[in-house]
């Protein structure tokens, strides 16, 4: 079996989830006696290919084209379809990034295949691969298998595997194969314009050692001060899950999760946060996680060190008082 | 501008889930409009209010799905299309998208919108697959739409606070990022008006769409815990005191 890992880079920088997926591929390859090829796509990506050549893979595929300088779903799909067909890959793995969500299902469909996205792990059952993904916002897990012949397409969620577990090449750099693809400017229908960040974030939550975060359970904007009081008593920064920022109850810059900031504080106190995947990927690296939620089945408890099943509106004032007392 | 919005009906947010094999027990729980799709519907209604045209609400699933289509009509969609299918939950993303694509193929819509993903299965592939199957350009995670002559200028959300403007010709398929707008409530007048609006019923058979699944959900289950959680119990005051003590002397983080 041949596994092909599609890495992601933008403007001279890796998306580090690429290496988590490479680690996953190496582990699957070891379990199934498969080979791993790793691919980098873009324009002027020699340095990226050279870095990949130092990893424990059988080959590096470098796809270069002027029209691939900026990401477009059309450009990537047309180019990668050719590479996957000629490389005869059986399993194509992606990091589950926003970019991958944007093109990988279309790429798979262009080959008449399906994709299992956002996986958190895999199992090998008698040589058959079972992919594990979440459903119902993380309340359940699901075992998913592919039907029919490959190539099969799957993506792994950020944090599902560890980038530092990528093994390096035992003997010298691996061969880099430069691949030319047929691609015409008129085949690319969307036109990427400028990249930008919204008003520079005044709050850098990534540097905060203590974070108190609120979710839907806070119910209304007038309840935010209660959470603020807890944060203040603790000396913590206040953060939130996406719905709270979408509602405008806290500014976007205080959002934790896949579309906000990714943090790894000493303490993360989650108040009325259910623990949907999009939020958890942004905070599961915290050293100590405390969750307070009225629903004992909330997925946040799966990653919590300390849990309280209860009403945050009763616990927040009590907690503020105890914190102030302890000072 | 003619806009089709794909709307899924999903179990209500607080519905207790009872797992049966590879799906959940559907009796006894409530269903609601998939929240990410409600942002797509709102965006469609706003585009119609600004540029004129028609909004069509498209949904797939068993009979109960009609309620969600009616909600879309009450909010201002002009008509509905229901692909009646009792086995919708068992379909893989490509099979579902194939049915939706077949249903809209002859509508010659300028724009097809979907939400970011569904809150139940969460495949997050429908919009991109529709674009592939209908051979239209697409863009995902859209945070702003500026309509121009035959094309759109779109603000796409990337990761870690980055955004990008892109240009996309019409007709196109977009997936809308949650939070792009403030979703409206249906008015009483809207609810009354919806009663007169048409809902066309189709089936995969009538659309000539077979099913060649590419993947199978073997089973779903409550996730295996990776961490041992210590649950603290007692009155709010007791719990608060215990927690502060744990954080100070056990975890030593405060």
Q: Which residues pair with A155 in a beta bridge?
A: A94
Residues B168, B153: Cα–Cα separation, whole Å:
6
Residues A60, A39: Cα–Cα separation, whole Å:
6
Residue B162 clears pLDDT 90, i.e. is over it: no
Residues A317, B175: Cα–Cα separation, whole Å:
41
Give the single-character DSSP code of A1. -
From chain A, the residues in CB contact with B131 under 8 A are 106
Residue B226 clears pLDDT 80, i.e. is over it: no
Q: What is the pLDDT of residue A207?
A: 85
Residues B227, B239: Cα–Cα separation, whole Å:
20
Alpha helix segments (H runs only) across B52-186: 65-75, 93-104, 126-134
What integer is the mean pLDDT of A243-250? 91
Residue A277 clears pLDDT 90, i.e. is over it: no
Contact A36, A69 (CB under 8 A): no
Give the single-character DSSP code of A212. E
pLDDT in tens, A164-218: 999 998 888 889 999 999 999 999 999 999 999 876 656 788 889 999 999 999 9
Alpha helix segments (H runs only) across chain B: 35-51, 65-75, 93-104, 126-134, 188-194, 204-207, 236-245
SS3 of residue A50 by DSSP: helix
Among B residues 106-135, those touching chain A with beta carbons less than 8 Å apart: 119-125, 128-129, 131-133
Q: What is the pLDDT of residue B110?
A: 97
Q: What is the pLDDT of residue B223?
A: 85
Searching chain B, which residue's CA lies closest to the CA of residue A111?
B132
Residue B206 clears pLDDT 80, i.e. is over it: yes
Q: What is the pLDDT of residue B80?
A: 98
Write the CA distances from A320 to A287, B224, B246, integer angstroms: 22, 33, 15
By CB neighbour count within 10 A (0-12 exposed, 13-18 middle, 19+ buried), where does A291 fall?
Answer: buried
Q: If you count residue pairs, one on A and one on B, with CB atoms under 8 Å apart, how many are there? A: 250
Write out the two tokens for A68.
């691939």
What integer is the mean pLDDT of A56-68? 97
Q: Where are the beta strands (DSSP E) in chain A?
A: 2-6, 9-10, 13-14, 35-42, 59-64, 91-95, 115-125, 128-135, 140-146, 152-156, 176-179, 191-197, 210-214, 237-240, 267-271, 288-293, 306-309
SS3 of residue B57 by DSSP: strand
Which architecture does CATH list for B2-207?
A: 3-Layer(aba) Sandwich (3.40)
Residue located via tokens 């809308």: B176
Residues A106, B161: Cα–Cα separation, whole Å:
25
Write the CA distances from A83 to A45, A89, A153, B190, integer angstroms: 16, 9, 14, 52
Per-chain mean pLDDT for chain B: 95
Flag if B158 and A98 touch (Cβ within 8 Å). Answer: yes
Residues B72, B190: Cα–Cα separation, whole Å:
10
What integer is the mean pLDDT of B136-144? 97
Contact A151, A91 (CB under 8 A): yes
* More confident of the two residues B243 and B211: B243
Phi first, then psi, for residue A200 (nearest 5°) are -55, 130
Residue A259 clears pLDDT 70, i.e. is over it: yes
pLDDT band at A246 (very low <50, low <70, confident <90, very high): confident
pLDDT in tens, A208-233: 999 999 999 999 999 999 999 999 99
Sheet of B162-169, strands arranged across: A191-197, B162-169, B151-157, B138-147, B172-176, B111-115, B2-6, B54-61, B79-84, B199-202
pLDDT band at A262 (very low <50, low <70, confident <90, very high): confident
Write the CA distances from A122 to A35, A142, A145, integer angstroms: 17, 11, 10
Nearest to B215 among A144, A196, A242 (CB): A144
pLDDT band at A95 (very low <50, low <70, confident <90, very high): very high
From chain A, the residues in CB contact with B92 under 8 A are 114
Q: What is the pLDDT of residue A127?
A: 80
- What are the structural domains of chain A? 2-187 (3.40.50.620), 205-326 (3.40.50.1220)
pLDDT in tens, A108-138: 999 999 999 999 999 999 888 999 999 998 8
Q: Which residues pair with A213 in a beta bridge?
A: A239, A270
pLDDT in tens, A147-160: 999 999 999 998 88
Instruction: Please state the separation of Cα A77 from the chain's center in Å.
Output: 21
Searching chain A, which residue's CA lies closest to the CA of residue B96?
A114
- Which helix (H) or strand (E) segment is A74 a member of? helix A73-87
From chain B, the residues in CB contact with A191 under 8 A are 166-168
Residue A320 clears pLDDT 70, i.e. is over it: yes
Write the CA distances from A227 to A232, A237, A315, integer angstroms: 9, 10, 10
Q: What is the ipTM of this complex?
A: 0.91
- Measured N-to-C along each axis, helices B236-245 and A312-326 cross at an angle, to the nearest 10 degrees, of 50
Residues A121, A126: Cα–Cα separation, whole Å:
17
Task: Render A2-16 in DSSP notation, one character per residue.
Answer: EEEEE--EETTEE-T
* More confident of the two residues A224 and A11: A224
Q: What is the pLDDT of residue A323?
A: 96
* pTM for the whole structure: 0.88
What integer is the mean pLDDT of B169-196? 95
Residues A322, B88: Cα–Cα separation, whole Å:
51
Searching chain A, which residue's CA lies closest to the CA of residue B152?
A190
Write out the two tokens for B62.
């068993």
By DSSP bridging, strand A13-14 and strand A9-10 are antiparallel
Instruction: Please state the separation of Cα B53 from the chain's center in Å.
Output: 22
Contact B244, A322 (CB under 8 A): yes
Q: What is the pLDDT of residue A201?
A: 59
Write out the two tokens for A96.
């589950």
- Is B217 touching A (CB cutoff 8 A)? yes
Which of these, A274, A303, A293, lies nearest to A137 by C-alpha position? Answer: A274
Residue B199 clears pLDDT 70, i.e. is over it: yes
pLDDT in tens, B94-114: 999 999 999 999 899 999 999
Flag if A301 and B128 touch (Cβ within 8 Å). Answer: no
From chain B, the residues in CB contact with A147 under 8 A are 213-216
Instruction: Please state the separation of Cα B228 from the chain's center in Å.
Output: 34
Residue located via tokens 């041949």: A2
Residue B41 clears pLDDT 80, i.e. is over it: yes
Cite the residue boundaries of each domain of chain B with CATH code 3.40.50.620: 2-207
Contact B222, B104 (CB under 8 A): no
For chain A, the distance separating the N- and C-terminal CA atoms, rounded to the nearest angstrom, is 60
Q: What is the pLDDT of residue B167?
A: 98
From chain A, the residues in CB contact with B225 under 8 A are 302
- Measured N-to-C along each axis, helices B126-134 and B93-104 cross at an angle, to the nearest 10 degrees, of 50
Per-chain mean pLDDT for chain A: 94
Which of these, A90, A107, A89, lies nearest to A99 by C-alpha position? Answer: A107
Q: What is the pLDDT of residue A172?
A: 84
Q: What is the pLDDT of residue A202?
A: 66
Residues A108, A105: Cα–Cα separation, whole Å:
5
Which of these, A194, A235, A236, A233, lies nearest to A213 by C-alpha position? Answer: A236
């Amino acid at each position: 079996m041949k596994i092909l890992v599609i890495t992601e880079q933008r403007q001279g920088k890796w998306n580090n989830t690429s290496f988590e997926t490479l680690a996953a591929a190496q582990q699957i390859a070891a379990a199934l006696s498969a080979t791993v090829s790793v691919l980098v796509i873009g324009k002027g990506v020699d340095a990226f290919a050279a870095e990949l050549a130092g990893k424990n893979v059988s080959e590096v595929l470098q796809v270069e084209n002027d029209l691939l300088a900026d990401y477009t779903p059309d450009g990537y799909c047309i180019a990668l379809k050719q590479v996957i067909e000629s490389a005869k890959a059986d399993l194509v793995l992606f990091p589950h990034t926003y970019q991958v969500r944007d093109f990988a299902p279309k790429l798979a469909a262009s080959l008449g295949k399906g994709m299992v996205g956002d996986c958190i792990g895999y199992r090998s059952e008698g040589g058959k691969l079972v992919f594990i993904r979440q459903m119902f916002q993380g309340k359940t897990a699901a075992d998913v298998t592919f039907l029919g012949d490959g190539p099969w397409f799957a993506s792994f969620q950020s944090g599902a595997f560890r980038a530092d577990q990528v093994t390096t090449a035992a003997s010298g750099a691996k061969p880099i194969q430069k691949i030319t693809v047929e691609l015409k400017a008129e085949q690319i229908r969307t036109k990427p314009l400028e990249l930008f960040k919204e008003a520079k974030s005044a709050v850098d939550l990534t540097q905060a050692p203590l974070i108190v975060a609120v979710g839907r359970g806070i119910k209304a904007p007038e309840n935010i001060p209660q959470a603020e009081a807890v944060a203040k008593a603790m000396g913590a920064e206040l953060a939130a899950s996406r719905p709270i920022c979408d509602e405008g109850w806290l500014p976007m810059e205080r959002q934790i999760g896949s579309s906000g900031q990714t943090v790894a504080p000493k303490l993360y106190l989650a108040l009325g946060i259910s623990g949907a995947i999009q939020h958890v990927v942004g905070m599961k690296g915290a050293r100590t996680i405390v969750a307070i939620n009225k629903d004992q089945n909330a997925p946040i408890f799966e990653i919590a060190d300390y849990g309280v099943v209860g009403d945050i509106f009763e616990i927040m004032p009590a907690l503020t008082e105890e914190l102030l007392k302890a000072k | 501008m003619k806009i089709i919005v794909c709307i899924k009906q999903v179990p209500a947010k607080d519905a207790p889930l009872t797992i049966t094999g590879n799906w959940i027990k559907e009796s006894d729980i409530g269903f609601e409009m998939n929240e990410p799709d409600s942002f797509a519907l709102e965006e469609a209604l706003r585009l119609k209010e600004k540029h004129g045209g028609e909004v069509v609400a498209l949904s797939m699933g068993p009979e109960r799905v009609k309620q969600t289509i009616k909600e879309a009509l009450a909010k201002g969609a002009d008509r509905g299309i229901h692909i009646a299918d009792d086995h919708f939950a068992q379909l893989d993303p490509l099979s579902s998208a194939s049915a939706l694509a077949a249903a809209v193929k002859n509508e010659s819509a300028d724009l097809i919108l979907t939400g970011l993903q569904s809150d139940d299965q969460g495949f997050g592939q429908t919009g991109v697959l529709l674009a592939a199957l209908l051979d239209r350009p697409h863009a995902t995670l859209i945070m702003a739409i500026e309509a121009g002559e035959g094309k759109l200028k779109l603000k796409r959300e990337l990761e870690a606070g980055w955004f990008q403007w892109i240009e996309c010709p019409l007709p196109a398929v977009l997936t809308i990022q949650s939070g792009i707008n403030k979703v409206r409530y249906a008015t009483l007048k809207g609810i009354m008006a919806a009663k007169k609006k048409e809902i066309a019923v189709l089936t995969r058979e009538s659309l000539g769409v077979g099913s060649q699944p590419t993947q199978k959900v073997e089973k779903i289950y409550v996730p295996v815990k990776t961490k041992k959680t210590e649950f603290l119990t007692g009155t709010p005051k007791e719990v608060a005191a215990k927690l502060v003590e744990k954080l100070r002397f056990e975890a030593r983080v405060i």
